[in-house]
Amino acid sequence: MPEGRDDPALSATEELALARLALDEGDLHHAAGHLAGALARAPTLPEVHETLARLAAVGGGGLDLFPINHHTFVGAVVARAHLLAAAGNPAEGLELLAAATGYAPGTDWAGVPWVTAPELAERLDPEHTARVLMQVCSALPDPVPRTGRGALAPYLTLARNAVTAHPEHGLLLGAASALARRLGEATVAIRWASRGVRAQSSKMGEVWLGYAYRSAGRTRDALAALGRAVALDPDDLAIYADIAGTLADNGRLDEALEWTERALARDPSFDCAVHTAHRLRHLRDGDLAHLVALADFARDHPDDSHEHADLAQCCRGRPWLGQLTPANGPLVDALRRAIAADDNGLGSAVRLTTVPPPSAVRTVASAAPGLRIEIVGTPEPDIREPRRASARQLWHYADDTTPMPAVPAPSAVAAERIGQVTHPAWPHPPAAYDAAVGLAGLDVADLLGLLVHPPAAPANAVGRLLAAHDPSIWVRGVQVWACLGLLHHRTDEPWEDSTRRRVLLDLVWGVEDWVTEAALFALVTAAWVDPAVRPDVARVVAERLADAAESSQVRAVPIAVSLAHLALATPALDPATAALAAKLLSAPQRGLPRPRNPLSRLWQRLTASRRHA
């Protein structure tokens, strides 16, 4: 169901006016097209349905005007559904409305009298109604957010009418319970599911009852029902995973792991059990290896029974596993204060004992140009010099303290593409890698240009939020995604001698900067998606972290904490480097306050925007 047609979008009123005009002129096909457009925009508007009835009256029922094919417009599907109901075939019409709901669950496709009339539920076969309700449920989250429940209320009315008309139909009661549960009606869901298992004992009936109890917070009853479901069908390993998840959610981790082991003993490759087991093992001991193994399993089993969120759940909100880290250091703290004061930093100054990262200086110059930077020392090792002589040069210094880009600005195409993908949060590293594939067509010069000439944040919700709270996050995000784009450069080249590896290593060992973190994250991401490169990446991470730790003994290293988090996100990291990372995170650094997170609420809003995108 494509979202629209080739025509420019018109309002429902305009579409309706054009439909009536075409109908008056006898042009039924154009009238049908405009009516489909009107229904797509205002599916419950009475005037639209009145005109559709006129069209049906003069067009032999009108069904031929709304054929179903592979690319049918959603408005045409809905029009055909209403015409089928009017022609005495509401069962097929209801299926089409459910299909429209699956396409756009937030639209009130079914909010019309014939769907909510008690007579419909009495006429329909109860098993057919149950299948429609399950079709609707399959497109919905559990639970549906409150703001989305109103559009689905007609289906709940249909369910109420159906269980009233067929009070002993087990499948119908279970499907109705599943819908009620998703719409926040846990008490109703329990009542219907309980009646269902009394009317007809079945595995699915017990599962529906267990889910209803779980939604109501009645964990003991939920586990009992799910246990009965296992007894009825010991080979349905998905129920084992559900029981394990329920136990884990209630702090009973050892019991949860026992259930996953029981499932894996029956089938070591069963995806639900594997995903749940790795998540629970990580929850038990915090070992990153469990998450890496889960990512490997997901990569090697692309045809899993359904989409799983275990890896994303474990990575959510964690530095570099699910989001970039906020920049650290007094200069960025001063920038945040200037943004909060909304004064461009005028009259403010920040006094530093060492030269700050060049990206930080450039971000302050752009976002708070009135903020004065006073540097009173340049201790060794000099931050203005690359950490290794072979490193690619992104910056040069016009004077002792003013960094300037050493590479040209990116093309307009590159700036547009990076703006489309940049976000400070991602589900997990392999998902970030996949999301960056749209940057694969950019050349190295463009991607390097983005690192030091980041485009302005777009005028969308995320861009406005960052501009109002912390512009440094947008700049760091652009750098992260540009480096992920480098990771997609010439992927046909063997890793060891590849252009992508060589360029990223140059950036890792370049001038100490936010780019260092972004490039190292790209290498860490490569290790997540390709087991063959893990020893190489782990070695690079270990060397770079050791270098930062050594520098931090004599001067402030604002990126050290972030590098430590990156190390702890690295597959196959050696224990000594992991211990060094933990030490850097626990001990205050020379010349820097202990890291804190003044942006926790901002992060919650940003990560929520990613999950709901």
HEC profile for 432-492?
HHHHHHHHCCCCHHHHHHHHHCCCCCCCCHHHHHHHHHCHHHHHHHHHHHHHHHHHCCCCC
Question: Phi, psi (5° rounding) for residue 349?
Answer: -145, 150
Contacts of 42 (CB under 8 A, 6+ apart): 12, 48
Range of the domain at 310: 256-315
The three-state secondary structure class of 304 is coil
- Asked if 65 contacts 29 with a C-beta cutoff of 8 angstroms, the reply is yes
pTM: 0.83
Q: What is the pLDDT of residue 463?
A: 82
- Quick one: the chain helix, strand, coil %, rounded to 5? 65, 5, 35
Q: Residue 72 corresponds to which tokens in the numbers above?
A: 């049918």
Q: Residue 583 corresponds to which tokens in the numbers above?
A: 């030490």
Given 199, 233, 267, the domain boundary residue is 233
Given 33, 66, 88, the domain boundary residue is 88
599 and 488 co-located in one domain: yes
Give the angle 499-501-505 at the CA atoms, nearest 5°: 115
- The reply to whether 540 falls in a domain is yes
User: Is residue 214 over pLDDT 90?
Assistant: yes
Distance set, CA 241 to CA 220, 227, 270, 389 (Å): 16, 12, 10, 53
- The reply to whether 244 falls in a domain is no
323 and 310 co-located in one domain: no
- The reply to whether 238 falls in a domain is no
Q: How confident is the model at residue 596 (pLDDT cuts 50, 70, 90)?
A: low
331 and 459 co-located in one domain: yes
Q: What is the pLDDT of residue 4?
A: 44
518 and 399 co-located in one domain: yes
- Asked if 500 contacts 547 with a C-beta cutoff of 8 angstroms, the reply is no
- The DSSP output letter for 349 is E
What's the rounded Cα separation, in Å, for the pair 438 and 229?
45
- The reply to whether 529 falls in a domain is yes
What is the number of structural domains in the chain?
4
CB-side neighbour CA atoms (13 Å) of 477: 26
How does the average pLDDT of the chain come out, rounded?
Answer: 92
The three-state secondary structure class of 72 is coil
78 and 107 co-located in one domain: no
495 and 364 co-located in one domain: yes
User: Is residue 6 over pLDDT 50?
Assistant: no
Q: What is the pLDDT of residue 8?
A: 45
486 and 576 co-located in one domain: yes
User: Is residue 588 over pLDDT 70?
Assistant: no
- The reply to whether 240 falls in a domain is no
- Asked if 80 contacts 64 with a C-beta cutoff of 8 angstroms, the reply is no
What's the rounded Cα separation, in Å, for the pair 395 and 448?
11
* Whole-number percent of the chain with pLDDT over 90: 80
Distance, C-alpha 438 to centroid of its chain: 17
Q: How confident is the model at residue 599 (pLDDT cuts 50, 70, 90)?
A: low
User: Is residue 345 over pLDDT 90?
Assistant: no
- The reply to whether 271 falls in a domain is yes
- The DSSP output letter for 319 is B
- Does residue 336 or residue 389 have the better pLDDT? 336
193 and 107 co-located in one domain: yes
What's the rounded Cα separation, in Å, for the pair 160 and 158?
5
pLDDT tens figures, 276-306 = 999 999 999 999 999 999 999 999 998 877 7
Say if residue 430 is preceded by a cis peptide, omega within 30 of 0: no
- The reply to whether 248 falls in a domain is no
Q: What is the pLDDT of residue 603?
A: 59
182 and 328 co-located in one domain: no
CATH of the domain at 227: 1.25.40.10
Distance set, CA 513 to CA 206, 475, 552 (Å): 57, 12, 14
453 and 582 co-located in one domain: yes
* Residue corresponding to tokens 């997540």: 528
Which of 215-229, 323-337, 562-576 shows the lowest mean pLDDT across its residues?
Answer: 323-337
Q: Shortest CA distance to 325 belongs to which of 568, 546, 577?
A: 568
69 and 102 co-located in one domain: no
- Asked if 99 contacts 74 with a C-beta cutoff of 8 angstroms, the reply is no
417 and 479 co-located in one domain: yes
- Asked if 415 contacts 455 with a C-beta cutoff of 8 angstroms, the reply is yes
What's the rounded Cα separation, in Å, for the pair 50 and 91?
21
What's the rounded Cα separation, in Å, for the pair 547 and 368?
32
Q: What is the pLDDT of residue 602?
A: 65
For range 585-613, the mean pLDDT: 59
User: Highest-confidence range of 1-5, 327-331, 387-391, 546-550, by mean pLDDT?
Assistant: 546-550
Given 268, 285, 315, the domain boundary residue is 315
User: Is residue 140 over pLDDT 60?
Assistant: yes
- The DSSP output letter for 357 is P
For range 513-526, the mean pLDDT: 98
What's the rounded Cα separation, in Å, for the pair 607 and 613?
10
Q: What is the pLDDT of residue 3?
A: 43
pLDDT tens figures, 349-377 = 898 888 899 999 999 999 999 999 998 87
Q: Residue 175 corresponds to which tokens in the numbers above?
A: 């499907």
- The reply to whether 247 falls in a domain is no
- Cα end-to-end distance, the chain, whole Å: 20
Contacts of 168 (CB under 8 A, 6+ apart): 195, 199
